[in-house]
Structure 1
Amino acid sequence: MSTFIPLNGSTAPKPAGAAAVRRTASVAALAALALAATACSSSGGDPLGGGASTSAAGGGTSAAAAPGGTVVVGSANFPENVLLGSIYAQALRAKGVKVEEKFNIGSREVLYGQLQSGSLSVLPEYNGALLAYLGGKSADPTAAAVNAELTKTLPASLGILESSPAEDKDTLSISQESADKLGLKTIADLAAKAGEFTIGGPPEFKSRQEQSLKDVYGLTFKEWKSTGETTANAVKDGSIQVGNVFSTDPKITQLKLVPLADPKNLFGAQNVTPLVNKAKVDATTTGALNAVSAKLDTAGLLALMKKVAVDKEDPSAVAKDWLKSSGLS
């Protein structure tokens, strides 16, 4: 097997004006899917954290690695991570790598142990949340700094590859009408209007972010509301003017919301990042996964999640189409 190529936390640049990130779905029929897709309001903003884990077919906990140099791609049990796992798996097959898929396994508590044991080779992760899970901290919230800390914090058997610009994290989002009428593009632009605005989000959002919004951006809002899973709809119908919506939430597209840019990195990096067992990957595998990271950005992931969560397209088919359009298949 080829020597593992350490990448020391390098990351592609964030596209200008890229929204900050996460997920839900739209109508009542999609509520259950949205709950699985978000996996964040109940887990403190961590896509892979919290909740009871469930083992899907092929997602057992055996420590035995797949035979014959097979790369085993795993995923957590929510649609975005399954989609990312499918993108990884198909990108590897396009390079001639033998792949086994183990999707819908559960939360990080289960997945991380399987990666350490070698039962899994590759997992789509979120760099900021993974660092927090491991008890690490980064004084600098940028992706490069977070990845540098991750490289130091991970056990020797595990490593991260190149992060994508795609992020799944908190945003402050407003309606398209507000953005156009008031010329709002960044969180900093809210300073002149925050005193007239009501902000909403999950129940814990106020306690976690009220002081940070004051300290970092000088924002004091007229009122805070607990809006939970209805936050995006509340922004659209005007019950609140600013909402804590997550950047890969399909409602951003469906309801024509505008996530405000976060130039001071209040919410920190949550870049989609391949986490690997070093003994189970080679240069072909790392090259193929890094090529995926180079092409995947937040807007693109949001568009893909709309197809999966709202249009109900098969994640494998969505992944296949994206890889073809990106020149990776």
Structure 2
Amino acid sequence: MPAAPRRRPVPRFPVAAVVFAVAAALTACGNSDPLAGSGHCDADPSRLTVGSANFPESETVADVYAEALRANGFTVDTKPGIGSREAYVPALRQCSVSVLPDYTGNLLRYLDPKATVSAEPEIERALAGALGPDLAVATPAPGQDSDAVVVTRATADRWHLQSIADLAAHSGEVKFAGMAEFQERPDGLPGLKETYHLTISPGAFVPIADGGGPATVRALTSGQVDAADIFTTSPALAANDLVVLADPLHNFSAQNVVPLFNARKKSDRATAVLNAVSAQLTTDQLLALNEAVSGASKTEPAAAAKAWTAAHHLDQPIG
């Protein structure tokens, strides 16, 4: 998942002014709090509250969950845009939310900061042991939103690139773009060096603080850099005919989309419905949903989800 943008320094204000401003803001916001209300932590397994993190892909997948669950007789409320994992995991534990989409690798590292596994099967096994009594998951989707080393088609053809290992032979020539933190992250430049012997010197790294977004893509397509850290479900990949280099040694953790439940709200029927969704939620399908929401058409997440569930026959009861 994309890293959070850096925050600007917070200006200092007198304490009284801050208290007044906070009180006024809370009054003005009213019900804008995505966690307003009690959720549905009653004994009725057919009443669910579907939440999401605060970025478009999470909101869209949450709306897909909601559409499929409603089609199967569930009474569903939605609470989009809750925030980061630090906000929505406690909300799940407290049952303000019943279920939401998460990502296996990052969820594991949140629950167990000492976890070091990165391949799909190992992450799934470790995650099962890290959830504790309050959380539960359904079957992860094959679709992932993970970091990737990306090059242009011209660069891939010129250097005969298929995997990150192929790029290592050109270490002395490669200029690389990514978030500034990528220089220090274990799966960033240090991981690429250790895993693939791809060595990027400090002078050949171009820090761009948009999490693999438009500025990073422009740096790549304009030739300012030769490779970049871009996420696998970015619509810019297809739009610019960019090439994702294979990561056979799993430098980057698998990030399969997974339904994350409050354990008390996970029923066999809800699990079956969301497993049916996950079975069709490939990386290509995540790309298609992101293109609908973040591409030229700027479709609202709920509308994109409704169209997707209909196209995949998930707007009707499953078997």
Separation in 2, partners of 1:121, 1:199: 41
Matched, 1:258 2:237: no
Q: Is the 8 A contact 1:65 1:120 kept in 2?
A: yes
Bigger mean CA deviation after superposition, 102-111 or 165-174: 102-111
Report the residue type matching 2:118 in the other structure. P
Choose from 168, 178, 198 the match for 2:175.
198
Amino acid of the residue matched to residue 249 of structure 1?
S
Query: Deviations for 1:89-145, whole angstroms, at most 9, x for unmatched residues?
Result: 111112222211111122222211111111211010111111111234444311221
Aligned sequence identity (%):
37
Match for 1:274 among 246, 255, 259? Answer: 259
Any residues of structure 2 matched to 1:124-273 within 5 Å, and which?
Answer: 124-208=101-185, 209-221=188-200, 223-229=204-210, 230-273=215-258
Q: In structure 1, give the amino acid aligned to 2:190.
A: Q
* Aligned-partner SS, 1:155: coil
Give the deviation of 1:65 after TM superposition. Answer: 2.4
CA contact 2:136–2:266 (8 Å) conserved in 1? no
Aligned residue for 2:81, secondary structure, equals strand
Read off the aligned partner of 2:300 and give its amino acid letter: D
Distance 1:39 1:79 in 2: 14
Q: Over aligned residues, Cα RMSD in angstroms? A: 2.2
Distance 2:52 2:128 in 1: 21
Matched residue pairs, number? 283
For residue 103 of structure 1, the aligned residue among 55, 80, 85 is 80
Partner residue of 2:40 out of 52, 65, 69: 65
8 A Cα contact 1:173 1:245, kept in partner: yes
Pairing partner for 1:313 from 296, 299, 316: 299
Amino acid at match of 2:245: L
Call closer, same or farther: CA 1:39–1:139 in 2, change over 3 Å: closer
Structure 1 position 246, deviation (Å): 1.2
SS in 2 for 1:118: coil
Cα distance change, pair 92–239 in 1 and its aligned pair in 2 (3 A)? same
> Are the structure 2 counterparts of residues 55 and 210 from structure 1 closer, same or farther at C-alpha, using a change threshold of 3 Å?
farther
Output the TM-score relative to the length of structure 2.
0.82
State the TM-score, normalized to the length of structure 1.
0.80
Q: 1:202 to 1:142 in 2, by over 3 A?
A: same
Report how far residue 185 of structure 1 moved: 1.5
Pick one of 57, 60, 72 that aligns with 1:83. 60
Deviations 1:149-197 (A, max 9, x none): 1211112121111111111121110012212333211111112222211
Specify the code of the residue in structure 1 equivalent to 2:291. K
Summarize deviations over 1:189-241 as a string: whole Å, max 9, x none.
11222221111111111122222211110112361111232211111000000
Answer whether contact 2:41 2:264 (CA < 8 A) is retained.
no
Instruction: Output the CA distance in 1 between the equivalents of 2:299 and 2:112.
Output: 37
State the secondary structure of the residue aligned to 1:228: coil
The residue number in structure 2 matching 1:323 is 309
Deviation at 1:319, TM superposition (A): 1.2
| Unmatched tracts of structure 2, length 5 or more | 8-28
**Structure 1 unmatched ranges of 5 or more:** 1-21, 23-37, 44-53
Which runs of at least 4 in structure 1 moved beyond 6 Å after TM superposition? none
Following superposition, the deviation at residue 268 of structure 1 comes to 1.0
